[in-house]
Amino acid sequence: MNVLTKTEAPSDSTATPGRTFLRGMSWVAWRRNRTSLLLLIGGTTLFIAYCVYQRSLLIDFLDTPKAAELSQLLPQDEDKLANAFFVLSSLPLILGVFLGAPLLGAEQENSTLRLTTTQSLARLRVIGTTLAVPLLVIAALTTLITVVFTWTWRPVDTYFSGGDWWNNSVIYTTGPVLVALSLFTTSFGILAGAVLKRSVAAMGVTFITLTVGAMMVKDRMASFFVTPHRISYPMGGESGAGLKPGEVQVDNWVGTADGKLYGWGTCVRMTEAESTACVKKHGIVNDVVEYVKLDQLPAIQWSMTGILLALTVAMLAATVWWMRRKSL
């Protein structure tokens, strides 16, 4: 006697375990970049744990009587925080090279995008989802990273590096700039991969271009978004006199009594007599220091963020345009 066994179709809750949050092309985009994104998530978790622990040590330092006597952190705390700054300053380049560049370069190398677009899916939808999923993950994780790291650094903002926030990575690793810079470098890598159609070539171009670009503009970019303050004092007086914690000297001049400025080396001559004659000729009586205050940092960062996000949008638009007009 034949026994018929009735098999029930799996319900939605059991048919696709683990796919309740992402579906369709979003799930495909996640699966294709799962290794890189999971590494990023794991690294973010470890870094946040490190920041929480490090902040507790910094707070303990601030609670000691010795903190009031010092103008900077203890060497061991300085080194640990400097290492964190180095990691975060390297993060945008890592994302651009290892996540952005292969994103479309590898897809075109392996013809997986061509296969997807032949399965009744519009090309624009495929490209848009392929870009959106990793970029959203990067935006969310870097936002979390910068919020926690800024929270760690702020209690010692006038102690770290002697309060010199202008000449190190503070501008690029705290606040919103890290998020915008990470999206910018990743988008640059994506565009390189789309154009070159080879992941290794795109990674090389991305690394070289971003590294050279950073060397050329990193130390100069912030100066375009801030108006320095000035302090004058009699020529030959103590340099930087009157600067408070969090105020950083960015330039120095020599000036006349009526406020006219000359370059610091204007009257630097071979002999003292020549220098004295030059000073009298120009009527120079003051040394002038230009400096920036710590409370100017947010305005600098948000201005830079706006520029970086605008460039990011432009590169993503160029990527979509390029991918739509070229054969996959």
The residues facing 249 across adjacent strands are: 291
Give residue 2's Cα distance to chain centre: 69
Sorted by where each begins, the domain ranges of the chain are 22-224+296-325, 229-293
d(CA 248, CA 65): 25
pLDDT value of residue 10:
41
d(CA 276, CA 283): 10
Nearest CA among 100, 55, 81, 105 for reference residue 170: 81
Listed in sequence order, the residues at least 6 apart from 27 whose beta carbon sits closer than 8 Å to its beta carbon are 19
Handedness of CA 222, 227, 231, 236 (dihedral sign): positive
pLDDT value of residue 219:
81
pLDDT value of residue 238:
64
Listed in sequence order, the residues at least 6 apart from 28 whose beta carbon sits closer than 8 Å to its beta carbon are 116, 129
pLDDT value of residue 112:
64
Mean pLDDT per block of 10 residues along the chain (328 residues) reads 43 44 71 90 97 95 88 91 96 97 83 55 79 96 98 95 90 96 98 93 97 89 92 73 84 86 80 83 87 95 97 97 77
Q: Distance of CA 133 to CAs 16, 63, 130, 139, 192, Å?
A: 20, 44, 6, 10, 18
pLDDT value of residue 278:
84
